[in-house]
Amino acid sequence: MENPSLASTLGRALWTLLLATLSSTTGQSFGGESVCMARPLAKYSITFTGKWSQTAFPKQYPLFRPPAQWSSLLGAAHSSDYSMWRKNEYVSNGLRDFAERGEAWALMREIEAAGEKLQSVHGVFSAPAVPSGTGQTSTELEVHSRHSLVSFVVRIVPSPDWFVGIDSLDLCEGGRWKEQVAMDLYPHDAGTDSGFTFSSPNFATIPQDTVTEITSSSPSHPANSFYYPRLKSLPPIARVTLVRLRQGPRAFIPPAPGLASRDNEIVDSLSGPETPLDCEVSLWSSWGLCAGPCGKLGAKTRTRYVRVQPANNGNPCPELEEEAECVPDNCV
Task: State the DSSP string of 55-103.
Answer: TTS-TT---SSSPSEEEEEEEEEE-TT--S--TTSPPPHHHHHHHHH--
> Looking at residue 297, what is its pLDDT?
87
Residue 263 belongs to some domain of the structure: no
Please indicate, yes or no, whether residues 301 and 221 belong to a single structural domain of this protein: no
Please indicate, yes or no, whether residues 175 and 311 belong to a single structural domain of this protein: no
Domain boundary among 244, 262, 297: 244
Domain that holds residue 126: 42-244
> Looking at residue 70, what is its pLDDT?
98
- CA 226 to CA 215: how far, in whole Å? 7
Tell me the one-letter amino acid at 130. Answer: V
Secondary structure, 3-state, 91-129: CCHHHHHHHHHCCCHHHHHHHHHHHHHHCCEEEEEEECC
Contact 222, 280 (CB under 8 A): yes
Q: In what order do the strands lie in the sheet with 121-127?
A: 121-127, 69-78, 149-157, 162-170, 188-189, 212-213
- CA 303 to CA 322: how far, in whole Å? 6
pLDDT per residue as tens, the chain (332 positions): 445 554 455 445 443 433 333 333 333 333 345 678 888 899 999 999 999 999 999 999 999 889 999 999 999 999 999 999 999 999 999 999 999 999 999 999 999 998 888 789 999 999 999 999 999 999 999 999 999 999 999 999 999 999 999 999 999 998 899 999 999 999 999 999 999 899 998 889 999 999 999 999 999 888 899 999 889 999 999 999 999 998 654 444 444 433 333 333 334 444 567 888 788 888 889 888 888 888 788 888 998 888 777 887 778 888 989 999 888 876 66
Please indicate, yes or no, whether residues 227 and 312 belong to a single structural domain of this protein: no
> Looking at residue 309, what is its pLDDT?
77
Please indicate, yes or no, whether residues 240 and 293 belong to a single structural domain of this protein: no
